[in-house]
Each structure stands twice: as structure tokens, then as C-alpha cells.
Amino acid sequence: MRKTGQHRAPRRSFRRGRHAALYALLVAGVSMGMATLGLTWAATSASSPVAERLATAGSQLAVTNGPSGAVWTAKFDPVLVGDSLAYLQLKTIRTTFLNDRAGKRVVVDNWQDSSSWKTIAVVRPRDGVAEFSLPDPLEVTHLYRAVIHPGPAEVATRQVEYAAPRTRQDDGLPTVYVDTDDGSPIGESGSAWEGQLTVKGTGDGRCADSSPATAKIAGVGDFSWERDKPDIAVTLAHDAALCGLPSSSHVTLYGDRYDRSLLRTSVGLHLATKLDGLTWTSDLIPVDLYVNGELRGVYGLGTRHSFATRGSVTQDSSTPQMSKSTPTPRAASKDEFLLRWDTDSKEPNFIKLEQYGLTVVEHESGNDDGELTQEQRDYVRTYLSKADAALRGQEFTDSTNGWRAYIDERCAVDYYLLMEYTKNVALTDPRGSFMYKAADSASGPGKLCFGPVQGFDASMGSTGFPGNQASPTGWYPNGSAATTNTWLKRLNEDPEFRKAVKARWLEVRGHFSDLRGWIDDQAAHLSSGAKFDSNRWNSVTPRDESHIVHGAWSTEVAALSTWTAARTDWFDSQFH
């Protein structure tokens, strides 16, 4: 069920005459504390002691669930109703979600100081009975009431708590419910909505239920929520281990808007788990996602890049649809940073390099409020400038004075190998590529590492961006002028780096050559949920001119398997 729209109607004045005289008498009676009148009266505060006593003895409100929504029935004294309208009202929820400078979250649930009664339906009673039909009531518990004569001396029923029953797909996937306060729609990136996240597990041990968790919710990407299937970033009030993921308060729901197979990000993160140089890799679990009661399709649930979720990852072969990770948390340090390749100099933490730029998106405190101290800003700017100069310098291949003094080679090799293999278009959009700087130690400054990796929807043949990106043959980061936004192209000018890439491919190629069977296992797990997703997002219509559509969902899966097999063969031909 989804929330109903807000209905408004003009307020009707109470009819003059004997009804008005009786109404005035009753108002006076309440003001003298005459609670025995058997009516529910609500002044400016619906929770006053007088109102609560009257609520138990006066007008009634009941709700029943039906196949097409919910029906509310309010009963008033017909003498009081007259020709007035009846209003069904919902008590809004206001959740305050704050981050303090130390990174500790402060949460106040149901902040009533700013809550108010909101009219959601209006009807004309018959013989004192008002019946409200709501096709899409909210699935989060709210207080409801019905009133006549809205105003300082309105007549109100008792307050009733109600939440519409949850619906879910019978497709074997866990279900994630994201609900904003009062059903406010999630918009584009740059804003956040308060609400909650709930998980309904599979019942077979793969994913357990989780209670509603207060959350801050934001759309990710520059595309309208109504037109596309955007990613959703969720920050929980407290750490939670959702569906076997590492305990974290930062999760992402990947919509994979370009990927009709629903598998590309799973493939990319699965491969990342096999490359131990990438130690900050998110897990991914396919789920059915409901937003404010509306089924949005199949999404991937993963922990978002955060200092709270670092760890190496190992695959659990008994449950191929889930990548289990074992976090290896390290103590926070003032010299650890998560960075995003960027071109927007207006970002507050943007650091301009000679040809590129990086924005600090998180630092060691785990605080995501975007604030850096001047000391932190000066430190990371100096370090990045030195690394950039070393990489561009004449001695950039030197093991002591070149790029290896600042960038972790094993991490760089694994990151390049994965991004080159998948031809992830994130390399042409700097805002899709990340780096992080490890903490300094007694042995010297902590080095930079490429990653963490995240979405792969625009990769492996799903899009045809410049640089021969759609083809399973040819170099991409090392061969396309469009991918010079990061340092990878320069690294490939070092012969020793290329030798390290070849050696690493020969070491790990088995994981790539085994992809066909792994993809088949994933597809079998997704098949039921994929049917709705394909219909919901019109899978045969391209998103834009760069989007490559192969056909029905099963055809999309087959195309992904074919592409990865051809890509593996081409890599073998280059590294024989």
C-alpha cells in the first residue's frame, strides 16, 4: 500500500439555530470540566487530560483493512454534526536526526513539538457516521482521529494507532521497507529525508528480520525519482547487521538503472572480493525494495563506503547470492581520509591538483557532516599535491621517489585490473571513482589506495560510451582519452606496473573464467523478482542514447555471460 494524497476541503461553519445554541452550551460545559457529557472534545492540545478522559467516553473511531485499502468509521452524536463535514486526520511524525562533531549520532524519535494534525480525507457524515475509504494508507504506525468543527473547540474522536499491513513479493528475496516520515517522497540527491528502514527476512537463515531503525534517507544521482531507478543512501541511527552484512550505520540500495540483468554490480563486487588488494569492498544482497509502501523492484543492499565498514571480504560458497565480509576495523587516525575524484571546485573540501581534483567526503572520525579542521585540510592537501607531483615527475617510476612512495601498488594493480576488465564508466565520470588514504604509522605515512568500488550498472556491455566501452575487446582506462580523469592512465606508462598487472591476472584469472557458473546461480535466485522489475521499469526501452538493451531479462543475463567470457578470452590473449 502507498500513502494517500492529502485532501483538502473548505471548513463549514456550524448551522445557526438550536444546534448552535446546544454547541455553545457544550463548549461552556467543557470549559467548566464537565467531562461526563460523553463527547470527545479537543482543544489546541489533543493530549490534554480533559481530552483524554473525554476520548474514552465519547465519539468513536475504528479502522478495518480491506482488499483495496482501509476503511475508517467515525461515530459522532448526530445532534452535534448537523450539516458539517467530518475530517480524518493523521498526527505527523517529526524525527530529529543529528550528527555531532565527534561522529556520535543523536536521535530523537517522534519529535512532537513540531508535529501537527494533518487532514487526509473529508466526507459528509450520515446520521452521525462518517466513513473514510483510504486506498493507500501509510504502513508506519501513526495516530489518527476524526473531527468535526475544526478549531479551538473542535469535536474529535479518540485517537487510534494504526499502520497498514505490509505487503511483499513471494519471490524468495529479502524485503527492505524504506519509509519517510508521513510518506514524503524521496527526491533527487542533495537533500535528506527522515524516516525508518525495516527488513523482512527470508525465513531460511539467509537473512533475518530487523526491527524498524530510525534513518536518514537520500536519493543518489542527478536523475528524477519518478523517471528512473536511482540509488538510495541510508544512514541508520545506530549500527545494524542487516541480512548478514557487517554491522554498519551506512548502507546503500543500488538501483542499477542501466543494468537490465540486475547482476552487474553483484559481478563487480564479487570479483572485488577475490582481489585482496581491495580491502574496503561492500557486500551486496539482492532485495525487493518498497518505498513508502510502493514496490520499486529489485535492488542491491550493501554497506556504503565508510570508516565504520572497512574490512577484507571472503566468499561464502554455500550461499552464492551473498558475499560475507569479515570487517577488520582499525583505530581512527587524524590522517585517514576517503576521497572522491571530482571536478567541482565549489565543493567545500575540494583539493585542486595540477590536472585533476579530489574531494574529501569522509575523514577519520566517521562523521559525514563534511567538515574538516584546518589542520586536516592542510595535511591532506599537502600529501595529495606531493603524490600528484611524484606521479607527473620525470622520476615517477623510481621506487623511492616516484609514485610508489605515495600509492599502494597492490591496491592500484587490483583496482585497475577490475575496472579495466569491466570497463566501468565510473572512470570517465570522476565523481564515480574513489580513493582513500591509510593512517600514518611509525614506518611512515599511510599510502593512498584506489577504491572502494561501488556501482557497475554502466559496465560489461550495458552502455556504449566513448572509448569503445561496449566492446569486450580493447583497453579502456589505458586506451581511451575519455578516462584520463584519474591517475590510472599515467600508471600504465610505467613498464613495471604493466608487468605487475600481467602477473596478477595470471594469478587470479580463474575467478574471472568461472563467472558463467556464478552468474547462472545468481540468475536462478533472482528470476522471480526480475519479472516484476522488468515490467516496472520497461526493460526493453533504453534509458538514453548510450544505453544498450538486449531484450528480455533472460536475454540480458545471457548477454552478460557472453560479454564476460569474451572479455576473459581477450585478457588471456594480451597476457599470454
In whole angstroms, how far apart are CA 356 and each of 353, 394, 452?
5, 18, 19
Q: Are residues 44 and 67 in the same domain?
A: yes
Residue with cell 595540477: 354
- 364: Cα within 13 Å, side-chain hemisphere: 18
- In a domain? residue 402: yes
Write down the pLDDT at residue 46: 39
Domain count, the chain: 3
Q: What is 91-113 written as a DSSP string?
A: E----EEEE-TTS-EEEESS-GG
Q: How many residues does the chain have?
A: 576
Write down the pLDDT at residue 82: 83
Write down the pLDDT at residue 141: 92
pLDDT digits 0-9 by tens, 38-58: 233 333 333 444 344 334 335
- In a domain? residue 507: yes
pLDDT digits 0-9 by tens, 325-339: 333 333 344 678 888
Q: Give the other-Cβ count within 10 Å of 128's Cβ.
A: 16
Q: Are residues 267 and 120 in the same domain?
A: no
Q: Are residues 317 and 346 in the same domain?
A: no
pLDDT digits 0-9 by tens, 133-147: 999 899 999 999 999
Q: Are residues 22 and 106 in the same domain?
A: yes
Q: Are residues 190 and 281 in the same domain?
A: yes
* Final residue before a domain boundary, out of 115, 132, 162: 162
224 contacts 209 by C-beta, under 8 angstroms: no
**Cα–Cα dist 488/480, whole Å:** 11
Write down the pLDDT at residue 351: 87
- 319: Cα within 13 Å, side-chain hemisphere: 18
Of 532, 576, 508, the closest CA to residue 295 belongs to 532
Identity at 298, one-letter amino acid code = V
Write down the pLDDT at residue 367: 47
Write down the pLDDT at residue 325: 36
The domain of 490 spans 337-574
* Final residue before a domain boundary, out of 273, 304, 327: 327
pLDDT digits 0-9 by tens, 110-140: 555 678 899 999 999 999 999 999 998 999 9
Q: Are residues 69 and 91 in the same domain?
A: yes
Q: Are residues 401 and 515 in the same domain?
A: yes
- In a domain? residue 170: no
Write down the pLDDT at residue 222: 55
- In a domain? residue 332: no
Within 447-530, strands assigned E span 448-450
Q: Are residues 24 and 104 in the same domain?
A: yes
Q: Are residues 321 and 346 in the same domain?
A: no
- In a domain? residue 73: yes
- In a domain? residue 250: yes
- In a domain? residue 169: no
Q: Are residues 76 and 157 in the same domain?
A: yes
- In a domain? residue 167: no
206 contacts 234 by C-beta, under 8 angstroms: no
Q: Inter-axis angle of helices 553-574 and 515-536, to 10 degrees?
A: 150
Write down the pLDDT at residue 89: 96
* Final residue before a domain boundary, out of 125, 141, 162: 162
Q: Are residues 133 and 203 in the same domain?
A: no
- Tell me the chain's radius of gyration from C-alpha atoms: 29
Q: Are residues 408 and 277 in the same domain?
A: no
Residues in the chain predicted with pLDDT less than 70, given as ranges, are: 1-58, 98-113, 188-190, 221-227, 305-334, 363-371, 429-430, 480-485
